[in-house]
Structure 1
Amino acid sequence: MIKYKFNVGDALERAGFNMYKAKTTGLISQETLKKIKNEDTNISAKSLNSLCLILDMQPKDIFIYEETQEDLKQKQKIY
């Protein structure tokens, strides 16, 4: 399962990026910002690109992969 390494919503706010900026800049949609604040990692590559731009980070700095039991079950179906 893909997870955030840290509270990305808080990091965006510290960078000055809030709902108003989301609305006025169009870099990240308000819906995506809500997902981020709820720790939902199901965001688009375009949104990920914007996150990297705003936070001055690489995707590997933002996300981590932790294998879950569900992931293991899916893996077994493949092999």
Structure 2
Amino acid sequence: MLKYKIDIGDALERIGFNAYKAKTTKLLSQDTLKKVKSDDTNISLKSLNSICMLLDMQPKDLLMYVETEEEKENLKKL
């Protein structure tokens, strides 16, 4: 399972990127902003690219993989 390493919503707000800027620049959708603010990592690679650009970070600075019990069980079945 992917998890955010940092609070993406807060980081975007600190650089002045809010819902209004998302709408006017079209760099991120309103839906994507809602997702990152609720720690939902189910975003597109295009959105991840925009977030990396805005925050001047690499994906590895934003995301980490944490294996869940369900994933461990699925691997055992392979």
Bin the TM-score by the shorter chain.
over 0.9
Q: Displacement, 1:20? A: 0.4
Match of 2:33 in 1: 33
Match of 1:13 in 2: 13
Q: How many residues align?
A: 78
Q: Normalising by structure 2, what TM-score?
A: 0.96
Match of 2:56 in 1: 56
Q: Displacement, 1:76? A: 1.9
**DSSP-derived class of the 1:57 partner:** coil
Q: Normalising by structure 1, what TM-score?
A: 0.95
The list of structure 1 runs, each at least 4 consecutive aligned residues, that deviate by more than 3 angstroms after superposition, is none
Structure 1's unaligned 5+ residue stretches are none
**DSSP-derived class of the 1:16 partner:** coil
Match of 1:71 in 2: 71
